[in-house]
Chains A and B, each alone.
Chain A
Amino acid sequence: MSNGAQTQAQDAEGTGETIACPFCGLLCDDLPASGGKVETRDCPIAAAGFARGAAPRRSHMVGGRETDLAAAAAAAGAILAAARAPLFHGLTADLHGVRALLALAERVGGVVDHELSAGFLANVAVARASGWVTATFSEVANRADVILLVGADPVRDFPRFHERLVQNPTPLYRERPPFMAYLGAAGDAPSRDVVPLQATIGEGDLLPALGALAALLRERPVAREDSAIPIAALVDIAARLKAAHYGVIVWDVAALPQGHAELAVELIAAMLRHLNVATRCVGLPLGGSGNALGAVQATLWQTGWPLRVGFGEGAPLHDPWRYDGTRMLAAGEADALVWVAALGTAPPPASSVPVIAIVADDVALPTPAAVEIRVGIPGLDHAGEAIRGDTVVAMNLVAAIPSDRPSVAAAATAILEALRPVA
């Protein structure tokens, strides 16, 4: 007998130590790692991500001069204390980082956004105002007998999607591989070997095609004269979904046509609500790269609101339009920018406001930031926690290639500490 939960790996039957990859929402945790080397299992995102550990070390900077974390934090604190509308954006940090950034943002009355929020807020908008039926990765991997991919092949943003969630060699509750169907633009379509049934449509036709599919599922009349909509294929897809024991509709919200995402998800949600009256069919809204869903979850629990939250009014307020960080910068409404890029690599958007860059070493700043705090990458330089793209499973990220680079949480806390004397 022992306290087993604390034991790591190295069981007699264990396959050696594996670690989780923090660089996309799948958080695949089967990457063998030893001695600072990570085997990335043919995943281009993982390969590129772990290669970031080799980036040359950079120093913290204030006003173009190298300095230490404490001094950088003090300078950042001074900028934030004076700011009327400081914006915290980018936000690709692990959960501890997000929690610390929220504490800092609240302290200085700032606004918080995430670089991927335009996409996942489309999912959020439908989930909360219309409702849906979804499932997590392991349910899909073990039960799905029909899978409909909508919008684009998920491999674009989630390279191991098929390997991890579809091609499960030992599923619990299905006898053969799931039947795969695709609805989306021809250019985004997966290979026909992988997905034999394809309803390909022209640019801009996703909504009418989804509408037709939803109507077919309801056994309602559908106009057939519009040649741009492949009704025959949709009839086939509808029949498969209705006959499925456990159908799954998958979409990568970031890959849906710009501006159409929310209504596309709305139509998918309508199908899911309808299908579950008679059979089971679940949605799998893929997302969560850059720990975006961790950021949403932590913001939800700390403030009661999903992202795009402002603390300027005292109590936290949520407004997807007003607190859209990119819009605020473009409109000149923010007067300081805290740009966080640890899991992500995007540089801060161009603006004329003082920038506090809390970024990994490989994030290039096109123009010098007022304050540059160089942080490590969770799951690479240091440990951390992130939430998977199915919003349920939080993954413990270990330090694959440990370094003494500070975490985002440490940076945010240092700034908060620097602010302490102010009441």
Chain B
Amino acid sequence: MITRIAGGRIIDGAEDEGDAKRDLWIEDDRIVAAPTDGRPADRTIDATEHLVMAGAIDIHSHIAGGKVNLGRLLSPADHRENPVERAGAALRSGSGLTTPSTFTTGFRYAAMGYTAVFEPAMVASNARATHLEMADVPIVDKGAYVMLGNDEYLLRRLAAAAEQGEINDYVAWMMQATAAHAVKVVNPGGISAFKFNARGLEIDEPVPHHGVTPRRIVAALARAVHEIGVPHPLHVHCNNLGMPGNVETTLATIAAAEGYPIHLTHVQFHSYGSEGKRGFSSAAHRIAEAVAQNPNVSIDVGQIMFGATMTESGDTQAQFRNRSLADPDTWISMDIECDGGCGLVPMRYRDSNFVNALQWTIGLELFLLVEDPWRVFLTTDHPNGGPFASYPHLVRLLTDRSHREDCLAQIHPAARKASTLAGMTREYTMREIAIMTRAGPARSLGLSERGHLAPGAVADVVAYRPDSDVAAMFRAPAHVFKSGVEVARDGAILAAPSGTTQLVRPAYDRQVERHVRRFFDDHMTIGFDHFPLAAGELADAGLAVAEQQCRPSAGRA
């Protein structure tokens, strides 16, 4: 089956040359070079004047796992007000906008031109359930980052001054056991500290009982992830989320990585100064400066979008602090398996609220101040900053200065005054959008066959019909192909293939299993033999596994 997407403007962030007007050819599930043997296309898609890009990749979106399900539970209004009927015999129904059900998540992402989504906060002990849940997220490829750095085993080994090699083996074992694609650390040490009743944790403050510091945890994990060769660097949610003045913590976290690659996630929530009479200010420029100076650092923004949403986080310490912001006033906190935690707080961001308005400007400042689109990714930390359905609007804010300024005029006047956003003239080009939503995430995640349109790539292709309203254009692309199958047209789902589960399987010395086994035997309520996902479990759940290669290394990036 050969498909020709004819007449579009190809915008491939991974290619050095500028945008080209040419046909794109797909054979089965791959992009191919234009046939030279004169074979005709089996079908031709008229994409005249359309913008043709690779399928978009969301590097950080909470789409599955126990806390996502708790988020759904806590959002009855979202599900009541956003019913989604079955749109075809082969499709499934669902509900929700901020905490959509799984089928709805997959369909909505695909209809927006996204073909891969990564769940960034899988609790290790919840891995099996998370993957079973992701099996019901159709169309898109998905993967999950396992959360480490608050697991008691690792903290105890770090406290016992374990060698880096042992840490590396443990991390690799854990990634295999949980079928993870990357490693995340959330509030390093802080979730464990909260279980010992510590309400905050500074980066050089010892974790209660263990004595190790967040700085040490970040250093050990960043190095481990790099040395075992996981493509995506350690994915870091810093300490002190949401606290005024936390920019210092964020900058210290960059230093803690000691030059190893790290990815700082939802940095908007970590770019706060404490200036001004309200003691809350933007420190976006300092973060942007640090990103420019540290090539080992990438970020995603975690833009907030005004409206009601649900915040879902492994960071129980921060979420417990935020409970007073709950709207409606109901929240959940959970300590999980000597391993992690989760906290749920419904939230309503208001443009009339000074803090929320300033958060909004800080996110946009970060986008506009970080110059290298390869190292800043478009996220709202769905749903924490706002639902992924708001991405089209966010793209418009980045590409359309006059719209941005119209929105800026609506927000709390003191926040508007405090922000430097008004003076920023930058408008993202479509090529930059393609990099930050496709080529960049693909490179960061080691997805060599995705995020670009070169022959050989997986045929995840999106054709956007040009529209002066960029948001409208990105909301419902004219054509979306997933692995060569047209899955969506003008916002409507046509087909629902299941997508793959992306993972990496770093190698490790099996000696580590003996230690971990003893820990499980002595302390845990699940046995060592039953903790890892067994071979075939993902297949039984209907998931097709796609493994990305590791590149182990002993040196720094």
Contact = CB atoms under 8 A, between A and B. Distances in A.
Contacts of B209: 173
Interface in A1-22: 1-6, 8-9, 11-15, 17-18, 20
B337 A304 contact: no
B356 interface: no
Contacts of A306: 73
A315 B83 contact: yes
A276 B94 contact: no
Contact of B523 (A141, A302, A313): A141
A6 B95 CA distance: 36
Interface string A158-177: 00000011001011110000
Interface in B472-522: 505, 507-510, 513-514, 517-518, 521-522
- By size class, the interface of chain A is 35 or more
Given A18-B529, A314-B85, A394-B128, A129 B330 contact: yes
B526 interface: yes
A423 B69 contact: no
Contacts of A141: 523-525
A172 B66 contact: no
B101 interface: yes
Interface in B50-100: 64, 66, 68-70, 72-76, 78-79, 83-86, 89, 92-96, 99-100
A165 B522 CA distance: 13
Interface stretch (A39-47, A130-138, A360-368): A130-138
A58 to B, nearest CB: 26
Contacts of A301: 64, 68-69, 72, 101-102, 133, 136
Contacts of B334: 133-136, 392
A394 B126 contact: yes
Nearest to B84: A315
Contacts of B530: 18, 20, 29, 395-396
A304 B332 contact: no
Contacts of A124: 73
A387 interface: yes
Contacts of B196: 173, 245, 280
A18 B527 CA distance: 9
Nearest to B339: A138
Nearest to B71: A300
Interface in A267-314: 276, 279-280, 282, 297-298, 300-306, 311, 313-314
| Most chain A CB neighbours (cut-off 10 Å) among B95, B128, B525, B540 | B525
Contacts of A14: 517, 529
B359 to A, nearest CB: 23
Contact of B336 (A29, A139, A315): A139
Interface in A297-340: 297-298, 300-306, 311, 313-318
Interface in B81-127: 83-86, 89, 92-96, 99-104, 123, 125-126
A252 interface: no
B338 A142 contact: yes
A115 interface: no
Contacts of A6: 534-535
A313 to B, nearest CB: 8
Given A131-B326, A280-B195, A315-B95, A172 B152 contact: yes
Main secondary structure of the interface of B (DSSP, over half): mixed
Interface stretch (A95-103, A229-237, A254-262): A95-103
B525 A165 contact: yes
A106 interface: yes
Contacts of A106: 86, 92-93
A385 interface: yes
B155 to A, nearest CB: 10
Given A245-B197, A394-B128, A314 B83 contact: yes
A136 B335 contact: yes
Contacts of B508: 1, 4
Contacts of A280: 194-197
Contacts of A129: 330
Contacts of B514: 11-13
Nearest to B103: A302
A325 to B, nearest CB: 20
B134 to A, nearest CB: 9
Contacts of B336: 135-136, 139, 392
A1 B505 CA distance: 12
Contacts of A136: 125, 334-337
Contacts of B320: 276
A128 B173 CA distance: 36
B542 to A, nearest CB: 9
B41 interface: no
A353 interface: no
A313 B84 CA distance: 11
A57 to B, nearest CB: 25
B532 interface: yes
Nearest to B198: A280
A393 interface: yes
B333 interface: yes
A402 to B, nearest CB: 15
Contacts of A165: 525
Contacts of A8: 529, 534
A280 to B, nearest CB: 5
Given A276-B333, A282-B335, A301-B136, A393 B126 contact: yes
A2 B172 CA distance: 11
A394 B129 contact: yes
* 10 nearest A-B residue pairs (beta carbon): A315-B83, A304-B95, A5-B176, A394-B129, A394-B128, A314-B85, A304-B101, A135-B335, A304-B79, A137-B525
7 contacts: A131-B332, A138-B339, A138-B523, A301-B69, A304-B72, A314-B93, A316-B95
Interface of A: 1-6, 8-9, 11-15, 17-18, 20, 29-30, 95-96, 99, 103, 106, 124, 127-139, 141-143, 164-165, 168, 170-173, 245-246, 276, 279-280, 282, 297-298, 300-306, 311, 313-318, 383, 385, 387, 391-396, 423
